[in-house]
Structure 1
Amino acid sequence: MKLLVLVIVQFWILGCCWVSASRVGLSERPSDPVVPTDKYPILPTSSVAAPPPGDAVRVVHVHHQDLDNKIMIGLIASVSLLGGILLLLTCFWVYRVHKLKKFKNNHETSDASKGLVLSPFLSKLASFKPGGKKGSAAAIEYQLLIAATNNFHKGNILGEGGLGCVYKAQFNDKFHAAVKKLHGAGQDTEREFQNEVDLLSKIRHRNVVSLLGYCIHNEMRFLVYEIMPNGSLDSYLHGPSRGRSLTWHLRMKIALDIARGLEYLHEHCNPTVIHRDLKSSNILLDSNFNAKLSDFGLSITAGNLEKSNIKVSGTLGYVAPEYILDGKLTDKSDVYAFGVVLLELLFGRRPVEKVAEAQRQSLVTWAMPLLKDRSKLPNVVDPVIKNAMDLKHLYQVAAVAVLCVQTEPSYRPLITDVLHSFIPLVPVELGGSLKVSDNALPSLK
């Protein structure tokens, strides 16, 4: 287009110069001499005065000047007409290009809504690998989420938590993800949304769920995660299956994975990240039962602990006593929550259970005496794993659980120490250092 405009401008300038030159040349051309003819012979002076030579010259000169003006006007009109035609053609060409581009964009949007065209975001998703580079969460168009979730159809719901409802999203035939639609549009929702985006955009670890993207549409907020086919640990332990798929070795592997994720947050993030809402429903399992921490809306960094506007948050049964009573929050608060999850893995019970019409009992209160009694412990563990583990390993896990749920935070171990205590309890094939026979290993199918 730029080339065409340049050619038109050059042509216009040349035309104007040619017309100007022609006008100058014609105006400066000398008049034709007056030649005697039979009609107008040169006569001698007489009483009848002949027209003065000057008048004759003037008449002839005026005749030529009129002719030159007509030629000049004709040339100007021709050049103007040609320029106008070219200008109209240019405008028409620009209009056509604009219409074609608009049609192409609409066509691509329509294809994208049908899941047929890979946008730059989808290209990024297609090459996504957990544990990749940091800061890679992408902004996603709302229409793309609408198409991928079938307008957030209830048949695509994977689960629902305090922060929002999670939907299965199919972006194309090969790539699926999980889309969390946050509840409400208040200040708390906005803060938790921003907190999750800020933290998970920087965190990449094999035991922390990966944030792929986010969407802001009017007052609505959406988060897009890698999909975890086996759902949450809570659904496996307390759902219809009652943990039947979770063998002893798988439970130890899950505990080890949780400890690895927490160690990354506590020891390798700068500043330290405190999850603040660790629970079985926020521990997700992939197709190989690798456990990953999720839901960082309430997470906080060590540098923000001194702010006075931070209110006590968490889930009943998992919140450390010093945090509830005194508002004291440290990384040991996550260790306490880990201990509660460990008790869930051991006993298959919920963190808080109803024992009477208006009475509830915490799992910690119920389990603490049993954890210290070796004679009773094997008989009260989850029936799914009863008689399926080495008793020595059971006692070791019970000892770790007792330390993690101590009332005094200073008595609780660092998560690094917890991590190292689990490595010898997990088979090599599942990420630990324990060597077991092949027929003792659980099937991951």
Structure 2
Amino acid sequence: MKWNKVLAMTCAAAMTTGMFATTAFAEETYDHEAIEKEDDITITMMVSGTAYENDFETEQLPALIKEKWPNVTLEVTKLPDDNYYTSLKTKLASGECPDIILTQPMYAGQNSCYALAEAGYLAPLNDLECVQGREDLASVTYEGDIVTATAGVSILGCYYNKDMFAEVGIEGVPQTWDEFLEACQKLQDAGIQPIVMGDKDQYVLQFGLYQLAANEIYSQNPDFDTQLREGEASFTDEGTWDKVLEMYKTLYDKKYIDASKSLGYGASQAITDFIDGKAAMTFDGSFNAAALTAEGAGGAFERGYFPIPGTNGVYTATCLSAGYSIYSESEYVDECKQIIDYWMDGKSDVWKAHLGTGRIIASYGEGAEETPNYELFKPFVELLNEGKGFYWANQAWPAGTETEMEALFSEMVGGQGTEIEDITQGMQDKFEDLLDE
């Protein structure tokens, strides 16, 4: 199963009109020998995250670029997320932005590629060789220009304990919402906690809600978020987010997720409970696969990973990962393009080093199918091949809409009197306020 074929049918399958128009490539190409024409130069790069031993961005990447081009020094700064956002905003405002920056697809986060492209901060990347022929880049394409180069996807799904499923007689994985609820009940009746979540870190609420939204909203109307921005749809529309929220609330009402525990648990505590065998399932992303497949205090058991099914079939919440953009006012735009093209050509030493970190699910290139935990991701790959993949909902919203949803949902399951209609109205009000800013 080839990943380049798979990703051609991912998020872009859902993005057919409006801001999700398909990519238009520029005819002109950049100078592919720009670096060779330079004397010694320094390229600056800034990314978010925490550096670790033999860190890819701060250690491996600069060394490999120096090996390829001895006249290039790549200086990489890696900052915690909040510091990154603050620093990026300051540097953009001062005109002293690094040459290469980390950006998120669509409107996700404070470094969203759409917002930065709209402000004129990002150079078009249509002429990069590594983007040619790819049809999965709609969520990093702004008004016909690719503005972020990315090589992978991120998946949301349900990790589960296969041994516990077998113990209570659950065969295979649920294919409908009713089957999923039946599986939860079987586990609960056997004295097993069906699902553990770390809702104290409210962002984890997105892990389940976006999966249900893929099933219940985007499978029926891929243009829902475009219509939101154009005022033709609303979070309060009947049968959309009210349905998704009600379905997710059911898991708390039936104590398949125990709110009395989850609201006091952080994300890392939920992961620990799952790997320790204290619950049969947890909703989480491909980005946490290493932690969720580690052996815990409960001993070894076989893990699986499946998309939460809906009432209309099974779809997957899968999005393009964060990627790399070039500052439009950089002195070295073509040189940066050379670096990114080499990095993401699917075969270079930089590509192999990046893939070797195990931190990306590659969408193409050599070694992609040897991605760590590939077998876990296979069910999602099969859905993507069928065109049943949709981006994470918050990527299309102004940053802050999702936090309103999380806060209000937490109030509801925490027994503070908040109702479904309060959440959808709150989301709509916040969405409109943020659009007006």
The two structures have a TM-score, normalised by structure 1, of: 0.22
Q: Which has the larger radius of gyration?
A: 1
Q: Which has the higher contact order (CA 8 A, sep 6+)?
A: 2
Whose helix fraction is larger, Structure 1's or Structure 2's? 1
The two structures have a TM-score, normalised by structure 2, of: 0.22
